[in-house]
Amino acid sequence: MPAATTKSDLLTVTLKDYGKLQDLLEKVPEAAALRKDDEDTSIKDVIAHRAHWIELFLGWYRDGQAGREVFFPAKGYKWNELKAYNAKLREDQAGLGWDEAVDLLQANHDKLVSLIESLGQKELYEGPMKGAYNHWTTGRFAEASGPSHYRSAAKYIRQRLKALGDDGK
């Protein structure tokens, strides 16, 4: 369920939840970040995934504003095919290093914040996002792609670090 209903709330939750995630990322040793779990996923994979989903949202927004067809979640995929899409994404991002994944998340977070700052309350929360074909507002999509993903990434990282031990090894 979305927490923000105003531009101010959305900016606050986006910055707060990213700040918490960023603080946590600074404590993650690279070896721990690259270590795969039982589902063949690493902390690095989760961070790169979150960065990618921000970029997806920004693309949906741009395409909708331009009157182009918006592909949800991505061209050639349906929502019920997310497992396959995410597996392909992990494969595509396999060569990405830990620092690159963190930098990509930072860059896309900055783009997300810039978009939120550039839009008004009406553009964020009054009416559905153009091209979305549902009732979700731009603000709700932004929250789902940013702060909501930041919280789930932080939860995953805390669990992984606990499972790996305090030193991450």
- The answer as to whether 36 is a domain residue is no
Supply the pLDDT for residue 40.
86
Query: What is the rounded end-to-end Cα distance, in angstroms, of the chain?
Result: 35
Does pLDDT of 16 surpass 70? Answer: yes
What band does 133 get if pLDDT is binned at 50, 70 and 90?
A: confident
Residue 2 falls within a domain, yes or no? Answer: no
**Over the stretch 45-94, which tens digit does the pLDDT of each residue have?**
999 999 999 999 999 999 999 999 999 999 999 999 999 999 899 999 99
Separation of CA 121 from chain center = 22
DSSP structure string for 141-152: HHHHHTHHHHHH
Q: pLDDT, tens digit, for every residue of 98-123?
A: 999 999 999 999 999 999 999 999 99
Let me know if residue 167 belongs to a domain. no
Cα(25)–Cα(46) distance, integer angstroms: 12
- Tokens representing 68 are 């182009």
The answer to the question of residue 168 being in a domain is: no
Instruction: Show Cβ contacts of residue 46 under 8 Å, excluding neighbours closer than 6 positions.
Output: 153, 156, 157
CA dist list (Å): 59 to 18, 34, 131, 163: 20, 28, 11, 36
Residue 105 in any domain: the answer is yes
Residue 35 lies in a domain: no
| Any domain includes 136 | yes
Total domains in the chain come to 1
Does residue 61 form part of some domain?
A: yes
Confidence of residue 166 (pLDDT cuts 50, 70, 90): low
Domain that holds residue 134: 7-30+41-162
| CATH code where residue 155 lies | 1.20.120.450
